[in-house]
Amino acid sequence: KTIPRELLHHNNLSLLRRYITPTGQIMNRMHSRLGAKDQRKIAKLVKRARNLGLLPHEGQFAVEAHGNTKEADIHENKEWEDELVRRGLVINKERRK
């Protein structure tokens, strides 16, 4: 099934993030399950969004290196960690079991 033409835009970040791995790479056709035409369109839109600064060139987990491992509050969640959990980007160990 093809992606509707109205949805294909570099500002549609929710659509583009579906086809990007957590490390920031564009998924291949086997993982994204797109046809050749749609894969080329998505790749072009992702590259355009990266150049405009809407998407990171590297994955967010590769860019964010927060904190010192010797900190006293290392086992407490920081604000940015709570935000990732709220957005559903990180799975809690308690939720996984």
pLDDT at 32: 86
In tens, the pLDDT along 69-82 reads: 566 666 777 787 78
Within 10 A of 77 (CB to CB), how many other CB atoms are there? 13
Q: What pLDDT does 41 receive?
A: 92
Lowest-pLDDT choice from 10-14, 33-37, 49-53: 10-14
In contact, 57 and 74? CB cutoff 8 Å: no
For residue 59 the two structure tokens come to: 């994955």
Residue 84 near residue 91, CB atoms below 8 Å: no
